[in-house]
Amino acid sequence: MTSRRKACASTRAKPVALRGPAANPANYHLAVAEDDDKPRGLFLRPLDAIASALVPPVADAVDPDELLDRIDVNALLDRIDVDALIDRIDVDAVLERVDLDKLIARLDVNAIVERVDIEAIFDSVDMNDIADRVDIERVADRVDVNSIADAVDIDRILQRSTKGVSNRFIDLFRRQIVGIDEITMRVVNRLFRRDPDSLPLGPPLIVDSGGPEELVSTMSGRYAGPLSRLGAFLLDLFFISASFTLLAAGFQFLFRKILGIDVDFDSWGTALAVVGFVLYSFLYFWISQALTGRTIAQTIVGLKVVQGDGMPLKPGHAFVRTLVLPFSFVLFGIGALMMLVDRRRRALHDFAAKSAVVYDWGDRPAALPAPLTRFLDKRDSVTIEIAPNQDN
């Protein structure tokens, strides 16, 4: 009797849990059938039979919607201690189980941005209220004006602004000269009946002579025209004359004050001054072009002397070029006028030194004036479109 009571007590202590298919009341008889092969208690089989007969009709009679409607969600939420619930959550463990890369990959940023109404956000912001809540005087008191002034390099700002204005002015001056050069050479090419597309644009190592598709506004590295070269030469003569006059006056002052010798420009003094001027001019052109490929005036105008293939000018070539330069202006300047008829716009001293003069504005591209660029682009495009029809 004692053993039978213990068996019944153990049977009551273990309630039946519906799992798997048996969790659905309609399939409850399947779960019971699966457990028939297991050893059952004395009173368990009748209970199973009763449950299989009562649970399905009861489950069918329950309306889930009506049941949910009868639940007081607010009262249920009031009984939940949110603080205690949050305290029991291990945030670190939750974060470790979250795959952030996978989460970010599933986010559609474009869709989120499209759903954000920026205008509505700005409309909801009361700027007047924000401005009223800001204490301007307190903000101004917290700003250290001296430290800000020390951090700002005023001299550098002024230098960059001044440099920008001067560069724009110089580039404007250069564009006008390049524009006149281009018009002059186009007129000369028409007089000599030369096809501009067949002429090289510049030295092969600097400019890729691509023919008609080349933009006329891109002038960097192209052979320089006559006006630019003549203007740079006359400006160099001005610099040479002014600097030589100052040097001569300085030497005359030193001789008078230090050595007590009064230098008078009589016949021999004049001859000595002429020789000194010629020597000074030769050194001016030779040294400046041998070192940088350009003189002071050529730098201002935007020119550079290179070898025929585009390589930097060598000192030997610069020496020959400077030596032959005066002969380009004898006999009515025939040697200088050779640049108008030569395909590479070379003068006599360029032929002798195997050199060429190109447009070079340093770190900025050489260009034509904007109106002339648009006109030439339109004219060249019309010429290219009409040419095939003329052949037909």
Instruction: Express each pLDDT in 251-308 by its tens digit.
Output: 778 777 777 666 666 666 678 888 889 999 999 999 999 999 999 999 999 999 999 9
Q: Is the pLDDT of residue 40 over 70?
A: no
Is the model's pTM score more than 0.75?
Answer: no
Mean per-residue pLDDT over the chain, rounded: 77
Q: Please give the pLDDT value at position 75.
A: 81
Helices (H), 192-295: 226-254, 267-292
**Predicted pLDDT of residue 25:** 47
Residue-wise burial string across 120-158, b where 16 or more C-beta atoms lie within 10 A, e elsewhere: eeeeeeeeeeeeeeeeeeeeeeeeeeeeeeeeeeeeeee
**CA–centroid distance for 335 within its chain:** 46
H or E segment and range at residue 375: helix 370-391
Over residues 241-254, the mean pLDDT reads: 86
Model pLDDT, residue 386: 41
* pLDDT given for residue 169 in this prediction: 84
Per-residue b or e along 236-264, where b marks 16 or more CB atoms closer than 10 Å to that residue's CB: beeebeeebeeebeeebeeeeeeeeeebe
Give the closest residue to 337 by CA, choosing from 323, 350, 319: 350
The pLDDT confidence band at residue 160, using thresholds 50, 70 and 90, is low
Does pLDDT of 56 surpass 70? yes
Average pLDDT over residues 105-133: 80
Report the pLDDT averaged over residues 174-189.
90
Tell me which amino acid residue 87 is: D
pLDDT at 121 over 60: yes
Q: In the prediction, which pLDDT does 1 show?
A: 43
pLDDT higher than 80, residue 43: no
Which of 161, 198, 202 is CA-nearest to residue 303?
Answer: 202
Query: What is the percent of the chain with per-residue pLDDT over 70, rounded to a whole number?
Result: 75
303 bridge partner residues: 359
> How much is the average pLDDT of 346-357?
93
Which of the residue ranges 8-12, 39-43, 66-70 would you say has the lowest mean pLDDT?
8-12
228/385: higher pLDDT: 228
Residue 326 in this model has a pLDDT that exceeds 50? yes
The reported pLDDT for the residue numbered 313 is 93
In the three-class reduction of DSSP (H, G, I as helix; E, B as strand; rest coil), residue 357 is classed as strand
**Whole-angstrom distance, CA of residue 36 vs CA of residue 134:** 80
Instruction: Indicate the range of 148-152, 366-370, 383-387 predicted with least confidence.
Output: 383-387
pLDDT > 70? residue 228: yes
Instruction: Give the least confident one: 126-140, 183-197, 221-235, 375-389.
Output: 375-389
% of the chain with per-residue pLDDT over 90: 23
Of 79-88, 141-150, 254-263, highest mean pLDDT: 79-88
Band of pLDDT at residue 380, cut at 50, 70 and 90: low
Quickly state the pLDDT bin for 101 (edges 50, 70, 90).
confident
Q: What is the pLDDT of residue 31?
A: 46
Q: Are 280 and 242 in contact (CB under 8 A)?
A: no
| pLDDT at 322 (0 to 100) | 94
Q: Look at residue 89 in the predicted model and tell me its pLDDT.
A: 83
Q: Sign of the CA dihedral 226, 231, 236, 237? A: positive
- Give me the mean pLDDT over the 31-52 stretch: 60
Q: Stretch 331-356: mean pLDDT, rounded?
A: 90
